[in-house]
Structure 1
Amino acid sequence: MGLFFKADLVQFAPRAISISGHEYCLKKAEAGELARLLLLEKEVYAGRLPWDWEVFAEELRRRDSLYLLLLERDFLVGAIGCRFSLSKAHITFLAVMPKEQGQGIGSYLVQTVLDLAKSAGLKAVTLEVRVENKKAQELYRQLGFEDNFVRKNYYDNDDRPDSDGLNMICHLRKKN
């Protein structure tokens, strides 16, 4: 919590939105919704939990983080988490229920973070994605992200042999 950041970025009022003809509510995650995040993660990662209760609880307690939940009625269909500093945002978590993937939900969530960061005058948004996750990389590239560098063994709590993370960056301001 020693990082400097723009506190107004972690404030977020609930809003009704429409994606591909479906109506949703986008709202800030609260500590009482940890079980929902864990259920989403379990569905997305085929029963595994890369982040446990304590990790999510710590993320939600951080003063520099914002986690958003996308709900259809009362059902959690997607979530995104990010941390803000004075110059950039870093997406720490993105998940969309498998049955809801391919409908623009992930794009909408990432674009929401990009818009928040840009409106706050931040210079960039970064994230990590598995080197082998070409589908996600293509989504991020469509949203303006570029390959930055590879973090060896980034996903060290995994049993997959290829656990490197590709750091991607989206520059929000043009270089002079």
Structure 2
Amino acid sequence: MRAPPPALRLSVQFASAAHRAELPRHRLARWVRAALRAGPAEPGLRDAASPDAAAEITLRFVTADEGRELNRSYRGKDYATNVLTFDYQPWPPAADIVLCDAVVAREAAEQGKPLQAHYAHMVLHGVLHAMGWDHENEADAERMEAAERELLRTLGFADPYA
């Protein structure tokens, strides 16, 4: 039987209020908790952690300018990206997850997806990264995408890769 996810300490920051009304705290917390159920990429980390430790996640919604600056400063890429994860501890995760509202909205429109569905996917994606999941090689990408599909399905969202 899989252990329950850790308690969650969630901070939500809106540097950009573009989608604030569509992203109430309870909805964001539900998405983060869903991702936590997947657990760390290395399952042994869950067993080694204190059962009383809590996940500490900050979700920060930013403008394209801030997203571009962060991506340039930390990844050397001069463009705004949909989600950046600054992970400090994989389990229980401690991370700052930055979502760029303009990029998420543009991608949702281009992909013909509801904005909520794409935000849910990007939040899950960021939290999975915080727990050590990655998509740098084909096998890891397939594993991470399968987890995202299953988590989104449990939340009532369609397969984002279909």
Q: Which has the higher helix share?
A: 2
Range class of TM-score, shorter chain: 0.3 to 0.5
Higher relative contact order (CA 8 A, sep 6+): 2
**Which TM-score applies when normalising by structure 1?**
0.31
Q: Which has the higher strand share?
A: 1
